[in-house]
Amino acid sequence: MDSAALLLSLRLALLTVAILVPIGIVAGRWLATRDFTGRPLVEAIFALPLVLPPTVLGYYLLVTMGGASPIGRWYEAATGRPLVFTFEGLLVASVIFNLPFAIQPLQRAFEAIPEDLRHAAACCGLTSWQSLWRIELPLAWTGLLTAAVLTFAHTLGEFGVVLMVGGSIPGETKTVAIAIYDRVQGFDMAGAGLMSALLLVLSVAAIAVTYWTSSRHRRKHAAAD
């Protein structure tokens, strides 16, 4: 059992969620409430990581963030550490890669709110922010939970991008998924098996929580007009 890798993965997943949930709320609400030409294109771009092979994303991230790129060089000059092969680089990759998992559930949740409720909030004198905080988010909270849980579980399992952009540096970029891969190569099947089982349990728990809360929510608000 590689506890450093486990801790690293948990940290990466939690930070990704912390960064992506606000982004998901803003983007999801924007896509749900504003109709503009080119919206399908924007939605498609946000959905890209769903279908893009992880290695393709990894490749493009290497090109744009790597040591030879302007961004990479600027970052290293500013902080003394490269952007790739570090935890921060991994975090950047993780945020990009999980965009659709955070945005789509929230967008659906905001879309499910009847438009007249937003209008009613405005007529009550609530600003857009107050409407979001007091009216829309409470009604969209299952979408929020789904977004958080999916992002969390997906980050834990991410492999291809992590390998390409992070390398496999213990304590820095060696996530649980990488550690499992490494253990198998090291003929430590027991260790690999233990970590795999743990990931499996975490993933199942995450999905179960999502489905359970959303069905509770559906039952509670079923009779609402």
Spatial CB neighbours of 176, under 8 Å, sequence gap ≥ 6? 2, 5, 6, 8, 9, 156, 195, 198, 199
Q: To the nearest whole angstrom, how small is the minimum distance from the Cβ of residue 100 to another protein?
A: 23
Chain positions 57 to 86 lying near another protein, rule: CB under 8 A, are: 62, 66-68, 72, 76, 81-82, 84-86
Per the listing, tokens 């409470």 go with 138
Question: Reduced to 3 states, what is the DSSP secondary structure of residue 187?
Answer: coil
The only residue of 22, 114, 193, 204 in contact with another protein, by rule CB under 8 A: 114
- Judged by CB under 8 A, the residue of 18, 26, 45, 112 near another protein is 18
- Give the Cα separation of 153 and 20 in Å (integer): 13
Decide: is 182 part of the binding site for another protein (CB under 8 A): yes
Contacts with 22 (C-beta within 8 Å, 6 or more apart), sequence order: none
Rounded distance between C-alpha atoms, residue 129 and residue 211, angstroms: 29
Choosing from 44, 50, 120, 197, the residue that interacts with another protein (CB under 8 A) is 120
Q: Which two tokens stand for residue 157?
A: 């399992």
**Does residue number 11 form part of the binding site for another protein (CB under 8 A)?**
yes
DSSP letter, residue 66: S
Contact between 159 and another protein by CB under 8 A: the answer reads no
- Residue 89 neighbours by CB under 8 Å, 6+ apart: 61, 65, 82, 83, 165, 166, 173
- Work out whether 91 is an interface residue with another protein (CB under 8 A): no
Which of these ranges, 32-40, 41-49, 92-100, 135-143, lies near another protein under the rule CB under 8 A?
135-143
Q: Which is nearer to another protein, 31 or 178 (CB)?
A: 178
Stretch that binds another protein, among 10-18, 39-47, 94-102, 154-162 (CB under 8 A): 10-18
Minimum Å gap between C-beta 45 and another protein is: 27
Torsional sign, CA 76, 81, 85, 87:
negative
Which residues would be at the binding site for another protein (CB under 8 A)?
A: 4, 7-8, 10-11, 14-15, 18, 62, 66-68, 72, 76, 81-82, 84-86, 114, 116-117, 119-128, 130, 134-135, 138-139, 167-172, 174, 182, 184-187, 221, 223-225
